[in-house]
Structure 1
Amino acid sequence: MTENDLHQYQLQAVDHIISHTHCALFLDMGLGKTVSTLTAINELMFKEVEVRRVLVIAPKRVAESVWTQEVEKWDHLKHIKVSRIIGTERQRREALAKKADIYTIGRDNVAWLCGLYGGSCLPFDMVVIDELSSFKNPKSIRFKALKHVQASLSRVVGLTGTPAPNGLMDLWAQMYLLDRGERLGKYISHYRDNYFKPGRRNGHIVYSYDISKENQERIYSKIGDICMSMKAKDYLDLPERIDNIVEIQMPPEIQKAYDSFEEEQVLSMIDQLGDAVEIPAVNAAALSTKLLQFANGAVYDEQRVVHEVHTLKIEATKELIEDAGGQSVLIGWTFQHDRDRLMKALAKYKPRELKTEKDIVDWNAGRIQVLLMHPASGGHGLNLQAGGHRIIWFGQTYSLELEQQFNARLDRQGQKEVVIVNKLVCSKTVDQDVIRAQKSKTRGQDALMEAVKARVEKYLKKYRKTS
């Protein structure tokens, strides 16, 4: 794609960034925040020659892949060099030393980066905060670290689709990182006193704050000059559902372990079958199940003992829930160890597994932020559309029926929002075979057999060459 393929509203976003040194884009998912920002960076760096080095702070998964992938996707951006500040401290330092145009870093490493340069300045002309709302807590380490270096930055851009998921109190810290308190005040206590009134309280302890419609409008007026807001429904001819493949790159050591595991499992099956001409469906299913388990992050041994091999999908799930900004999320799990690990890892969200009618009632009433459900047990007949519009497929399934029926729990008549289906896919694993099968709408059993046969042939060729 080229710059000519950008929509008019995206060009407006580009102009907004160029014309405002400190600004925010409050754009819904699907409106192209990343490509708009990259296009503005390209203008500022290679045409205006105003910017030399850009730092992008983002959720870990986004920092590792999304910005690089977006650069590669657009012809007018392909010359931009991106260095990813990820991995061990040594690897991060090496990435910083590389000559590049854009440096991406996970938000959890912001404090480390600021400390590396003394805590008061950063060697970048421009900082982009992807998912600005994740800096909404003024007591967080990431906010405090960025607050102290903000004055050294010539340009700051904040990107998010949910700037105030829990109310306008969340805006203060985000706006401070843009204008150092010019619009909403230099202290959150002053902001609170100026715009809010104490709500629910117990003696001197205030549990919540209320805000009038008039004061809401005052806040919008204060920040309106530097914040550009767009809703997807106003700018896109949206489909009923958005399918988002969340591609997860395995670190080299985990990829190597997966490849070895795959080879071991395939060769073991070949040995078991001996001179059999065809691969029995039961053997193919067993192999596929083992590989899908590894892709999800844990495998059963012969005694059904669970061995965790990575937490990549767990971390991606956490990021998606945080990025949802408090909105409810429905998670589809495949194996019991998926469910158990998710329940433990997501404990702070008080996750619930769908088991009873009360779970359905509470979900539809908005009382459950994270609901876990197995596609086979809850795939048919349940009406969950009133409770949310976000789905995470933790593991992937060859069954088109299960996939369609599970999505239809939210993507059905009565749903008032665009349903967003996030599928966690580990690259260079069996996950990608499943996604290809889903896209081609190949019948589950046929797709599974084709994928297994391809793997068998791959390793047979390898050993023919070495024998």
Structure 2
Amino acid sequence: MEQLIAVFTSKRNIGLTAIPYFATFNENQPITLHEHATPEHIRAEPERFSDQQKEMILLLTKISEHNLHRRYGKKESLKTFMDQLQVHPHFEKEILPFIDRTIYSAIYLLGQSGLKAYYKDGTFSNVYQSDRLIIRETPAQPVFDFTLTSEGLEYSLKVRQALEDNKPDKEFALLGRDVEFISRETAVLKIHHNIYYFKNIDSNKFKPFLDKSTIHVPMRQVDIYMEGFVSKCIRNFDVTGKGFEVIEKKEQPLPHLALIKDLKHLPVLGLHFKYGNRIFLADRLAPVYVEYVKSEQGYAFHKIVRDFDFELSIINRLNELGLVKTGDALFQPEACTSKKTATQMLAFMADWINLNKEQLNKEGFSIETNFDNRNIFVGKATLKVDSSEDNDWFEIKVRVQIGEFNLPFFKFRKNLIEENPEFELPNGQTFMIPPEWFTRFSELFDYAKVDKNSIRLPRSHFQIMERVKYGVGQIDKKTDVPKIVFPQVEIPEGIQAKLRPYQTEGYAWLNFLMENGYGGILADDMGLGKTLQTITLLQKIYDNIERQTIDPQEALMTPEETAEERAQQLSLFGAPAVKTFNKTGIPASLIVMPTSLVHNWQDELSKFSPGMRIYNYTGTNRLRSKDIGKIFQHYHIVLTSYGVLRNDIELMANYTFHYFILDESQYVKNPTSKVYEAVKQIQSKHRLTLTGTPIENSLVDLWAQMNLVNKGLLGSLAFFKRHFVQPITRHKAEDKEVKLQKLIQPFLLRRTKEKVAKDLPPIMEQVLYCDMTPEQEKFYEREKSGIRNSIYQVFEHKTPEQSAIMALQALTRLRQIANHPVMVDESYQGSSGKFEQIVDKLESIVAEGHNVLVFSSFVKDLELLQKELQIKKLSFTKLIGSTRERDKVIQEFNDKASIFLISLKAGGVGLNLTKADYVFMLNPWWNPAAESQAINRAHRIGQTRNVFVYRFLSSGTIEDKIARLQQKKSQLADVFVNNNNPLTDLSQEEILELFS
């Protein structure tokens, strides 16, 4: 059976080297050598070899003639290279040392592994079992014997080899022995069939003793030898000596930490150990130190052996105290691993020293804090924070005590804003501002007004105030956004409804905001009862005075009242000629909403809170007067629309409302719009917004709405974009995400149906991919090719804003073709794969007795479907933007129609259509939130059946890519709560990708 062996043999110009062979052992016969073992054998049969065998093959292959030639002699043939090897320009400095190191590694491996090695004499053609070489597991040791006399110094060198099986060590001299040197750098000797390898001595030390037993050093050279050669031998080897002393000193090491620079010029803590007067870096490069001493009494050597067990215990102790190793003797606080600048790292180190200095001193450490020509202060630094409340502000005063210096806090403002920890003290020392101060105060300066004497922070930033007062705690963990529990509050008696547990919790949150003077965004999923929670809060406000029961029909004052009634209203500007319904003394509250929701709010208020009087300030016949507030004050609730508010803001801004509530507040997400400017002018004590989609297209939507209810909470729009929008959307900055979550968390309440309305039946969603018909596909590809060419030209000659607009127009055209080409070309005679599948599905579902909501982004799409439904005599009704009698259309569906055709914009909000148990989304829209709102028309409280949602996508079209874009926007909204041109946020490359 073949075995792997190593065969040592002499090679021309190299000397003794080794080759791995496959060999067969034959009884009383020479060993049969078959072939060299190579890396190719390992690759072919890896399971055939042990790890040590693989390592030996790879090592010895490095010094084969072919590999040496490949490495050092590419410009000449193999024969020429080997013939002229000894005159090669790199032979002495590179080639021989490389061979030596490799041979030494192979011999060390043979000694450790027990793999067999044999010697092949060049004068014989065969290898015999008697040629086996003995390579022991333990390296040999050099033994020096020095004798100092009045005539000089004599010394000898012997070899000591530890033997196995508890036999005594073998010690012998080299004189008279046949010695062959295999490796030169680190000595390896072959003596007969024994190979002796050493660890830290070269071959030249042994060569003089091949022909002599001792070496004599004359007296005139003794001093030089004793200080140099003898000292090194005592340090590195076993030495016996006469005529001088070797004194081994047992020193108790003392740990020493110093601020130093590493190879990258970054600050680190260097660990040293003091042994007497000698300081060692905490590595293992100098395990023994020898000090040469010459005196009148003679020569002596003080030998210090380092206590590595103690040193290791100190290293472990530093790990326990929060340091991590960056090198053999270099450490830094764990927090430094994520910091990039040298100054920031130095601040963390100074902070670590400050925190641990007392304990380190107790444990015997000495500490050096001079760094880069600066004296780093490591004394005690304390903060004293005083605060008080003044209306809408926290008044904050901070004093800083650093050693003997008492300093005003405003002196540190610039450093904290610029994240610069270095602060020069009056005595010239450098105080490194603790990292905890940056966490504690950095946000303060983002939102506070600061002068020399005080700091004023808006009360809405109570979380920042908590951090400033009490410092950094568990709340500041990177991913820890705290959950605030609000005190329970009783449901007011005037509410004619039973609130669900999550609605009670939402009401308690609203009450918490009101009592503490904060605004909020109630952002529950559509259908979870945001209206009822809000009405409950309003009822509590107006329920603290004797209530009166009012007929629901009487409770509403509408603009369509008679001229006589309007005259009565006008008389209110003088004396109260009509009954005052609001006797609480609390001003009226204003609720603003899309026009389509006014009727819904009227119904909900009359149903849930019949005791409150409502004034409907809408319609063309509404009373427009600068004194309109004199009418408002006699009512509890004023309802109006966004359009009326924008047009009548000069009149409505004259009255101070108690609560100002915006429903579907995403309508005011554009901070540059006229309606947004109008909303900002309304005066009120409290503010609240209601929306299921606080983020539709970008984080600016969130800023716009939060700025209305808690002005300044998120800073200016420019600050918000720079500080949050860009880092989060462009760089996926997780720390900014968490910081923004913490800022908005107390003021934004978001619950999903899946989490709180667990009694709702499940919703099943399915994407139906529709193949285009051949004629539709041909039409689509022709249009796409033309559009793509024109878009390239647009990007070359138009601004990014103009390019985005034109790209959106082009994409809209492709979306319409994906639905049905006739939407863009009435002469088109073919069909549409998606349209046919929609009609087939509708017929089947209606035949089974189900009811369907059909949503489309395009009115033309619904009109095409309407014609087909009329032909097939399927009952339907339709709601689009131009529909005037919305209530009538909704009632018609609830009473008799099976199909409700709805445009996405007209029917996305304000509808309760739980009759339907199927929802068709005919085409994907840019904003997934709009689709979710549409689905929630059917999947809301009151629904008792499973809801099935079908999303229709034309395969291989722009609709596929819109679906992927939806995913990206949905993820952004989910992080924080959960522009009508979505392309404005995309790069040119991303837009062109949509047309690819």
**What TM-score, normalized to structure 1?**
0.52
**Residue 115 (str. 1) matches residue 645 (str. 2):** no
Q: In the superposition, relative to structure 1, how do residues 434 and 32 fare at CA in structure 2: closer, same or farther (>3 Å)? A: closer
**Residue 156 (str. 1) matches residue 687 (str. 2):** yes
Q: In the superposition, relative to structure 1, how do residues 216 and 3 fare at CA in structure 2: closer, same or farther (>3 Å)? A: farther
Which of 836, 840, 850 is the equivalent residue of 1:380? 840
* 1:52 CA displacement: 3.2
Amino acid at match of 1:10: Q
* 1:55 CA displacement: 0.2
Which of 151, 161, 184 is the equivalent residue of 2:714? 184
Amino acid at match of 1:86: T
Q: Distance in 2 between matches of 1:92 and 1:167?
A: 37
Q: Deviations over 1:312-335 (max 9, x none)?
A: xxxxxxxxxxxxxxxxxxxxxxxx
More contact order relative to length (CA 8 Å, sep ≥ 6) = 1
Q: In the alignment, which residue of structure 2 is the partner of 1:323?
A: none
Q: In the alignment, which residue of structure 2 is the partner of 1:436?
A: 895
Q: Distance in 2 between matches of 1:196 and 1:401?
A: 52
Amino acid at match of 1:138: P
Which of 507, 513, 525 is the equivalent residue of 1:28? 525
Q: Is the 8 A contact 1:44 1:50 kept in 2?
A: no
**Residue 17 (str. 1) matches residue 477 (str. 2):** no
Listed as ranges, the gaps of 5+ residues in structure 2 are 1-493, 546-583, 765-807, 821-831, 843-852, 900-914, 916-996
**Residue 221 (str. 1) matches residue 750 (str. 2):** no
Q: What are the equivalent positions in structure 2 for 1:131-150 lying under 5 Å apart?
A: 131-149=664-682
Q: In the superposition, relative to structure 1, how do residues 215 and 430 fare at CA in structure 2: closer, same or farther (>3 Å)? A: closer
Q: What are the equivalent positions in structure 2 for 1:206-217 lying under 5 Å apart?
A: 211-217=732-738
Q: Distance in 2 between matches of 1:85 and 1:166?
A: 31
Q: Is the 8 A contact 1:51 1:126 kept in 2?
A: no
**Residue 45 (str. 1) matches residue 542 (str. 2):** yes
Q: In the superposition, relative to structure 1, how do residues 60 and 215 fare at CA in structure 2: closer, same or farther (>3 Å)? A: same
**Residue 58 (str. 1) matches residue 522 (str. 2):** no
Q: In the superposition, relative to structure 1, how do residues 359 and 57 fare at CA in structure 2: closer, same or farther (>3 Å)? A: same
Q: In the superposition, relative to structure 1, how do residues 353 and 402 fare at CA in structure 2: closer, same or farther (>3 Å)? A: farther
**Residue 195 (str. 1) matches residue 724 (str. 2):** yes
Secondary structure at the counterpart of residue 30 of structure 1: coil
**What TM-score, normalized to structure 2?**
0.26
Which of 490, 494, 499 is the equivalent residue of 1:6? 499
Q: In the alignment, which residue of structure 2 is the partner of 1:72?
A: 606
Secondary structure at the counterpart of residue 746 of structure 2: coil
Q: In the superposition, relative to structure 1, how do residues 39 and 437 fare at CA in structure 2: closer, same or farther (>3 Å)? A: same
Amino acid at match of 2:855: I
Q: In the alignment, which residue of structure 1 is the partner of 2:454?
A: none
Q: In the superposition, relative to structure 1, how do residues 134 and 210 fare at CA in structure 2: closer, same or farther (>3 Å)? A: farther
Amino acid at match of 1:235: V
Q: Distance in 2 between matches of 1:398 and 1:6?
A: 43
Q: Distance in 1 between matches of 2:886 and 2:833?
A: 24
* 1:399 CA displacement: 9.9
More strand by share: 2
Q: In the superposition, relative to structure 1, how do residues 429 and 227 fare at CA in structure 2: closer, same or farther (>3 Å)? A: closer
Amino acid at match of 2:714: L
Q: In the superposition, relative to structure 1, how do residues 31 and 374 fare at CA in structure 2: closer, same or farther (>3 Å)? A: same
Q: In the alignment, which residue of structure 2 is the partner of 1:385?
A: none
Q: In the alignment, which residue of structure 2 is the partner of 1:238?
A: 760
Q: In the alignment, which residue of structure 1 is the partner of 2:701?
A: 170
* 1:239 CA displacement: 3.6
Q: Is the 8 A contact 2:522 2:689 kept in 1?
A: yes
* 1:398 CA displacement: 8.7
Q: In the superposition, relative to structure 1, how do residues 209 and 47 fare at CA in structure 2: closer, same or farther (>3 Å)? A: farther
Q: Distance in 2 between matches of 1:144 and 1:88?
A: 22
**Residue 105 (str. 1) matches residue 637 (str. 2):** no
Q: Distance in 1 between matches of 2:871 and 2:762?
A: 22
**Structure 1 residues 217-226 or 426-435, which shifts more?**
426-435
Q: Deviations over 1:414-447 (max 9, x none)?
A: xxxxxxx99x793685774453113799xxxxxx
**Structure 1 residues 224-233 or 3-12, which shifts more?**
3-12
Q: Is the 8 A contact 1:398 1:434 kept in 2?
A: no
Q: In the superposition, relative to structure 1, how do residues 3 and 166 fare at CA in structure 2: closer, same or farther (>3 Å)? A: same
Q: Distance in 1 between matches of 2:897 and 2:833?
A: 20
Q: Is the 8 A contact 2:589 2:657 kept in 1?
A: yes
Q: Is the 8 A contact 1:132 1:174 kept in 2?
A: yes
Q: Which protein has the larger Cα radius of gyration, Structure 1 or Structure 2?
A: 2
Q: Is the 8 A contact 1:18 1:44 kept in 2?
A: no
Q: Distance in 2 between matches of 1:4 and 1:164?
A: 31
Amino acid at match of 1:80: M
Amino acid at match of 2:736: N
Cα RMSD over matched residues?
4.5
Q: Distance in 1 between matches of 2:508 and 2:886?
A: 35
Q: Deviations over 1:33-60 (max 9, x none)?
A: 0111011100011128584301001111
Q: Deviations over 1:330-374 (max 9, x none)?
A: xxxxxxxxxxxxxxxxx9898669765x349xxxxxxxxxxx999
Q: Is the 8 A contact 2:612 2:637 kept in 1?
A: yes
Q: Distance in 1 between matches of 2:763 and 2:873?
A: 17
Q: Distance in 2 between matches of 1:193 and 1:168?
A: 12
Amino acid at match of 1:426: E
Secondary structure at the counterpart of residue 20 of structure 1: helix
Q: Is the 8 A contact 1:156 1:178 kept in 2?
A: yes
Q: In the alignment, which residue of structure 2 is the partner of 1:81?
A: 613
Q: Distance in 2 between matches of 1:436 and 1:381?
A: 22
Q: Deviations over 1:232-275 (max 9, x none)?
A: 22111334569xxxxxxxxxxxxxxxxxxxxxxxxxxxxxxxxx
Listed as ranges, the gaps of 5+ residues in structure 1 are 200-207, 243-346, 361-371, 383-388, 408-420, 442-467
Q: In the superposition, relative to structure 1, how do residues 429 and 130 fare at CA in structure 2: closer, same or farther (>3 Å)? A: closer
Amino acid at match of 2:510: I
Q: In the superposition, relative to structure 1, how do residues 239 and 398 fare at CA in structure 2: closer, same or farther (>3 Å)? A: farther
Q: Is the 8 A contact 1:85 1:92 kept in 2?
A: no
Secondary structure at the counterpart of residue 137 of structure 1: coil
Q: In the superposition, relative to structure 1, how do residues 144 and 390 fare at CA in structure 2: closer, same or farther (>3 Å)? A: farther
Q: Distance in 2 between matches of 1:126 and 1:159?
A: 13
Q: Distance in 1 between matches of 2:732 and 2:700?
A: 9
Q: In the alignment, which residue of structure 2 is the partner of 1:426?
A: 885
Q: In the alignment, which residue of structure 1 is the partner of 2:571?
A: none
Q: Deviations over 1:66-91 (max 9, x none)?
A: 110102222xx112111111112644
Q: In the alignment, which residue of structure 2 is the partner of 1:364?
A: none
Amino acid at match of 2:650: G
Q: In the superposition, relative to structure 1, how do residues 353 and 176 fare at CA in structure 2: closer, same or farther (>3 Å)? A: same
Q: Is the 8 A contact 1:425 1:432 kept in 2?
A: no
Identity score, percent: 22
* 1:95 CA displacement: 8.1
